[in-house]
Amino acid sequence: MTEIKNTEQQLSRFRLRVAAAGLFVFVCFGLIGLRFLYLQVWHFSKYSLQANENRISVAPIVPNRGIITDRNGVVLAKNYSAYTLEITPSKINGTLDEVIDQLTQVIPIDTRDRRRFKKLLEDSKNFESLPIRTRLTDDEVAKFTAQRFRFPGVEVRARLFRQYPLGTMAAHVIGYIGRISQRDQERIDDTSDTNDQNSNHYDPRLDANNYKGTDYVGKIGVEQSYETELHGLTGFEEVEVTAGGRPVRTMSRTQATLGNNLQLSLDIGLQQVAEQAFSGKHGALVAIEPSSGDILAFVSSPSFDPNSFVDGIDQQTWEALNNSPDHPLLNRPLHGTYPPGSTYKPFMALAALMLHKRTPGWVFQDPGFYTFGGHTFRNDVRSGQGWVDMNRAIVVSNDTYFYMLAHDLGVNAMANFMKPWGFGQITGIDIAGEARGILPSTEWKRKAYRKPEQQRWYEGETISLGIGQGYNSFTILQLAHATATLANNGVVMKPHLVRDIENPITKETRAVVRDPSDKINVRQQDIDFVKRAMEGVVTNGTAAKIFAGAPYQAAGKTGTAQVYSLQGSNYKGHALAEHLRDHALFIAFAPAEKPTIALALIVENGGWGAEAAAPIARKVLDYYLVDRMKPPRSPPHPRRKTPACR
């Protein structure tokens, strides 16, 4: 009996254990089922998307950047494809220097390549792919491909590069592209944040996603200011990949949209003549078509080669450019400010006529100086220039006449008259970095200085303003703009460097500027009088020798601006250090009756305007009005197959 009881107890316990184990297994499978239900049903969309992302790689397709040409279709900026050897620092094994040393045994990497790479590394994020060598040959690509397994984090990529075929010519206008810096990325993100997708003004070109995969943006010049036009729209490609990341097939593809082409207003032939005329000199020149505001030439001398920046400039070359005493990176017409000297006198004469402070026939006997408040302001001809009226004052550039006129006008009346002509004002040209300059007035001085004694305007300070000295400080762009407005009889055209924007697919173009910006209230007879006086300057005045025999009638005005005060002593340029010599200036327009070109230029520390600046103006006008019309023997520059000009 005892054995039967023990057996029954053991069976009962066994059944209980089996039931408990079965229940435990049932609960576990139930939990697994609930988990499957949770993952497969409630969170199906989430995990399905993640699975697809693991299986499908979305790669951006960077668009081709737009081409830049001059007004005649001459190519100024274009693209070419090449292979680059790139390193992603976060993915390499070992130190960066060790990896580069090992790469050098496969592909030549010189010291300049290393310096450029280290500068790129300083300006970039550690996880970015950076080029150590560009423009690899087919043999170099083959050599690295065979050894690629040795270099994790290093790869060869095919990329589009920017090229500026004419090198230093018009470099400050065209600008250059460079790798996107952290500051550039922040600016792109800020612009994207203000570009509301739900608004009617949403522009996909301004979206930060449009720059995915893009490594380069415009840094200066029209490359920068027309970045959104030139960049185009980024495309995307969905590619199915294996677990190891190897592409299997392309699932979908959205093509990139080409960037728009830019046709500049520049005449590159005129630009070349002007730059050659400045050879060895420091200075600036701006030539404008008065009737349209088209900038025909925009010279900053000396210049630089923008191609040096495309691959990433090395530290040594950058320091040589940035620290050069010649300041080749300075955009002189746009950012440099100078006293206008005697080129200001035609505008002073126009102010006198308009404000009824002088008549054309008012005349005086010039003693060679003007005294005010115990200070003597001297004329260039110390013995005086005899009887002088307004016409003669402009033709022979008489200082005494304009000393007296400045005193009679007063600083505020001069400022109010000069402002609509663009002096000391932002012209609104379509590249960034324009300086405002200084158009002096009592209000300006109160804002410019802190101490009460400095804020006060003294009458003696007004006198030198009449000859373009004193506090007067303007850009050559402003001076050229004012000259073009004078040539255009007071009709103000906004100066611009981009003439038309072309759709590369449809070839449709849209104009940048065509309508007048303003019309200055000035009497035609007063403008005509000043123009005739400026004709006299090149016929029998200070520039007559330079323009002798010209087959066209020009109108102009020479100018010489002091760099430092003579303190009453005589000017002897040959005895001064070059950086202390006077600046030489010249303004002109031609043909005088119906001007098609107006210009302003400065030769820094060049001395007399008639000797240093006027000859450059003569070469520029000769080319544009005479030589340009002659049929060329052969095309001097490469042209596009389909010119953008009309």
Q: What is the pLDDT of residue 567?
A: 44
Report how many domains make up the chain.
1
Q: What is the pTM of this model?
A: 0.82
**Contact criterion met (CB below 8 Å) for 192 and 206:** yes
Spans of the chain below 50 pLDDT: 565-573, 575, 635, 641-646
Three-state DSSP state, 546: coil
Q: What is the pLDDT of residue 566?
A: 42
CATH number for position 127: 3.90.1310.10
Q: What is the pLDDT of residue 126?
A: 52
Q: What is the pLDDT of residue 426?
A: 96
Residue 604 lies in a domain: no
Residue 255 lies in a domain: yes
Tokens of 584: 């030489």
Q: What is the pLDDT of residue 71?
A: 95
Residue 188 lies in a domain: yes
Catalytic amino acids? 342
* Burial class of residue 211, CB neighbours in 10 A (0-12, 13-18, 19+): buried
φ, ψ at 156 (rounded to 5°): -100, 130
pLDDT digits (tens, 9 = 90+) for 590-626: 999 999 999 999 999 988 888 999 999 999 999 999 9
Q: What is the pLDDT of residue 300?
A: 97
Residue 111 lies in a domain: yes
Three-state DSSP state, 35: helix
Domain that holds residue 199: 58-262
Q: What is the pLDDT of residue 87?
A: 85
Residue 294 lies in a domain: no
**Contact criterion met (CB below 8 Å) for 523 and 354:** yes
Element at 21 (helix H, strand E):
helix 2-37
- In a 13 Å sphere around the CA of 95, the CA atoms on its Cβ side amount to 3
Q: What is the pLDDT of residue 568?
A: 42
Q: What is the pLDDT of residue 564?
A: 52
Residue 130 lies in a domain: yes
- Name the nearest CA neighbour of 380 among 562, 224, 172: 562
Residue 391 lies in a domain: no
Largest CA distance in the chain: 156
Q: What is the pLDDT of residue 337?
A: 95
Residue 624 lies in a domain: no
Q: How far is CA 355 from CA 295, 416, 530, in A?
A: 31, 11, 15
Tokens of 129: 């792919």
Q: What is the pLDDT of residue 265?
A: 97
